[in-house]
Amino acid sequence: MEVSMWDNWVEQVLSKLESTKLLRSLRPIHLPSTEQPQIPSNSDEFEVYDGLRQWDRAYVEVEIAETTFQKWVQDIPSSGDYDISSNGEADIKAGTCPRKFRKLLLFSGNDYLSLSSHPTVAKAAAKAAEEHGMGPRGSALICGYTNYHRRLELCLANLKEKEDCLLCPTGFSANMAVMTAIGSVGSLLAADRKPLEDEKVAIFSDALNHASIIDGILLAERQRSLVVYVYRHCDMSHLSTLLSSCPMKKKVVVTDSLFSMDGDFAPMVELAKLRKKHGFLLVIDDAHGTFVCGKNGGGVAEQFNCESDVDICVGTLSKAAGCHGGFVACSKKWKQLIQSRGRAFIFSTSTPVPIAAAAHAAVIVANKETWRRKAIWNRVRDFHALTGIPITSPIISLIVGSEEKALQASRHLLRCGFHVTAIRPPTVPPNSCRLRVTLSAAHTLDDLRKLTNVLSQCINLQSIGVQGTNGYAKL
C-alpha cells in the first residue's frame, strides 16, 4: 500500500471538518518593530561567534544554596524553599536569598549546545519584551499567534525539510496534539457511527517511547477508533511481525529518534525500509536530536539520511535550542488537522512573544555556529576514550541497579562538585536505576577528566550497564 493513502485520508478528514465548520485557522497578529516596519529576518543581523566564550560556561557552572546542598546529601525531601538556618540564612519567601552557596559542574541538563546563555538569544528576547511585553496572551487560535510565531515556524520547517510547521507551547503538548489528531482520523471518517475494526487506526509504539507520546496515545484511545501495539524497544523484527499481522489499513509507527533515558538511536534506516513495505505513517519525536544531530542540525533523520521518510517530526525548543516550546514539522494538510483536532494545542496558551523571538535567534545561531555541534560530538568521543564505555550520543545512561546504589553515587558526585541526578522509579523500572550524564558543547576535556575520575570512585565503569532495555514507561 502506498504511503500517499494517508494523504487521501487526511484530505477526506479535512473536507469533513470544513463542511461541519470545524476546521480551525491560524491568523497571525502582526507586531511591528518600533525601529523598522518589518521584523528583521536576515540571519546576518544575528551576532555569532567562532568558539567557546565565558557566557557558555554559565550553563554548566551552577550554584546551589548550602541548605539545599545539605538536604540533597542527606536525601531529605524538599519543596524548593530555602530554610532559615542557624547561621542566619533567610527563607527566600522573606525576600532575601541564602548567604552560602556551593559551586557545581552541571552534567544533568539538556541544553546540549549551551545556547540558553548566548547573548544573541538573550538580546532577541529582551528586544521583543521591551517592544511588545509578553505579546497577546491567549491560545494560538484566539489571539496568541503572531508574526513572531510564524517566522519561527517557517525557520523550523526549513530546518526539518518539511512543508510547514506548527508551534506548540511545549514538546509534551506537541506529542499529545499529534497523537490525538491521528486518533481522530478513524472516528471522523466513520461519520456518525462507530468505526469498524478495519476502519480504525493502528498505532505501533516503541516500548521506551517518551511519556508524552504514551499519554497522547492514551488520550487518543478514548475516541474508540484506535488500536495500540507496543513493539519491543528498537526491535524491527518484532515490529515487522506486528505490522504484517495487523488487518487495519491505517497504520502509524511512532518512536523517539534519540531515547532520552538510554541515549540510543531508533533504527531509522530499518524503519524507512519497513515504511516503504507497509505504507505506514512514520512519526518521530526528535526532541534530543534536533540541532545536535546531522550536518545542518536537522536531527536524527538528517544524520541517517532519511528525512523524506519521516512524515511528522515532533521537536522541542527547550533542549538544544536553550529556550522553551515545542513544534510539529509536517505537511500543510497535517498541520491543518493537528491545529483543528489536537486538543493540547487548541486549549493551551501560546508561547510568549519574547520566547518565540529568542527561539528564532537560537535556530539561526545553531545553524551558523557549527563548531557547537562539533564540540559536543568531540566530548562524546572523549568520554568513550576516557571510560571505554561504547556510548553513541551525548546522553549517557549509567545503569547501577538498585535505588540506594544510584543515590549513593549521586551523593558522592555532589560532594565532589558535580550535579548528576539519580534516575529512579517511576521514571525507570525497579533495579534499573541509573546516573544520567548529559554532555554539552560548553563542557571541556578537563571537565570530563574530572568527572570520570570521580565516577570511577563510586561505580565500576568497566562493568557498568549502559542503555538498558527493560523500559521506563509503559502504555
| Residue 218 in grid coordinates | 492514551
Q: Quote the strand ranges of 247-317, DSSP E.
A: 250-256, 281-285, 312-316
Mean pLDDT of all residues in 208-229 = 94
Q: Is the pLDDT of residue 426 over 90?
A: no
CA–CA gap between residue 319 and residue 332 (Å, rounded)? 26
Sign of the dihedral defined by the CA atoms of residues 275, 194, 229, 471, in that order: positive
> Which pLDDT belongs to residue 427?
82
Greater pLDDT, 167 or 71: 167
Q: Residues 324, 128, 313, 303: what is their CA dihedral angle, to the nearest 10 degrees?
A: -90
Residue 355 burial (C-beta neighbours within 10 Å; 0-12, 13-18, 19+): buried
CA–CA gap between residue 149 and residue 29 (Å, rounded)? 10
> Which pLDDT belongs to residue 81?
65
Lowest mean pLDDT among 86-100, 244-258, 260-274, 430-444: 86-100
Q: Which residue has cell 578537563?
A: 446
Longest Cα–Cα distance in the chain: 72
Q: Which residue has cell 516503504?
A: 276
Number of other CB atoms surrounding residue 460 within 10 Å: 9
Q: Which residue has cell 493513502?
A: 5
pLDDT digits (tens, 9 = 90+) for 49-62: 989 998 899 889 99
Residues 136 and 146 sit within 8 Å (Cβ to Cβ): yes
| Residue 91 in grid coordinates | 527563607
| Residue 328 in grid coordinates | 510539529
Mean pLDDT of all residues in 252-266 = 96
HSE, CB side, 13 Å, CA atoms: give it for residue 372.
Answer: 30
Residues 294 and 303 sit within 8 Å (Cβ to Cβ): yes
Residues 3 and 281 sit within 8 Å (Cβ to Cβ): yes
Q: Which amino acid is at 96?
A: T
Q: Which residue has cell 496568541?
A: 144
pLDDT digits (tens, 9 = 90+) for 153-176: 999 999 999 999 999 999 999 999
> Which pLDDT belongs to residue 459?
87
Residue 155, SS3?
Answer: helix
Helices 403-415 and 66-73 meet at what angle, rounded to 10?
A: 150
> Which pLDDT belongs to residue 468?
43
Query: How far apart, in Å, are the Cα atoms of 264 and each of 208, 259, 260, 299, 391?
Result: 11, 6, 8, 14, 8
Instruction: List domains and CATH numbers for the chain.
Output: 5-29+136-351 (3.40.640.10)
CA 47 to chain centre: 26
pLDDT digits (tens, 9 = 90+) for 363-413: 999 999 999 999 999 999 999 999 999 999 999 999 988 999 999 999 999
Q: In what order do the strands lie in the sheet with 465-466?
A: 422-423, 433-438, 395-401, 465-466
Buried/exposed code over 126-147 (b: 16+ C-beta within 10 A; e: otherwise): ebbbebbeebbeeebbeebbbb
Q: What's the pTM value of the predicted model, to 2 decimals?
A: 0.91
Q: Is the pLDDT of residue 433 over 80?
A: yes
Task: Grade residue 88 by pLDDT with cuts at 50, 70 and 90.
Answer: very low
Greater pLDDT, 304 or 401: 304
> Which pLDDT belongs to residue 137?
93
CA–CA gap between residue 276 and residue 38 (Å, rounded)? 44
> Which pLDDT belongs to residue 40?
45
Residues 384 and 392 sit within 8 Å (Cβ to Cβ): no
